[in-house]
Amino acid sequence: QVQLVESGGGFVQAGGSLRLSCTASGRPMSNYFMGWFRQAPGRERDFVAQISAGGAVKYYGDSVKGRFTISRDNAKNTMYLQMDSLKPEDTAVYYCAVREGGTYYSFRNYQYWGQGTQVTVSA
């Protein structure tokens, strides 16, 4: 069984930065795609970013391109999301997730999820 724990969320003013971490346990993550999603109240869970098992291939949602950077350290079984130039519309609960196959942008293809961490960006 895989457990994922996110950390690093918080409250920040627009234009600021936060760095989220997702630490996995129960299984080495070095063979899995990992991703970040976010969900604001009343909205579906939206794709933010995904990184391949080795870290070479990265995809980003259109709304975060150029501002967010996904990375991973397989030796630490940890994935990161560096969020810069934050905007109020980035306010959401951010989830990390692991998938074994399927398209990267659909949350339905991710089998394991963390509990989420709140990010709030004030104007």
Using the predicted structure, report yes or no on whether residue 16 has a pLDDT greater than 90: yes
Measured CA to CA, the distance from residue 102 to residue 109 in angstroms comes to 6
Q: What is the band of 74 on the pLDDT scale with cuts at 50, 70, 90? A: very high
- The answer to whether 68 and 60 have CB atoms below 8 angstroms apart is yes
Q: What is the band of 56 on the pLDDT scale with cuts at 50, 70, 90? A: very high
pLDDT value for 100: 86
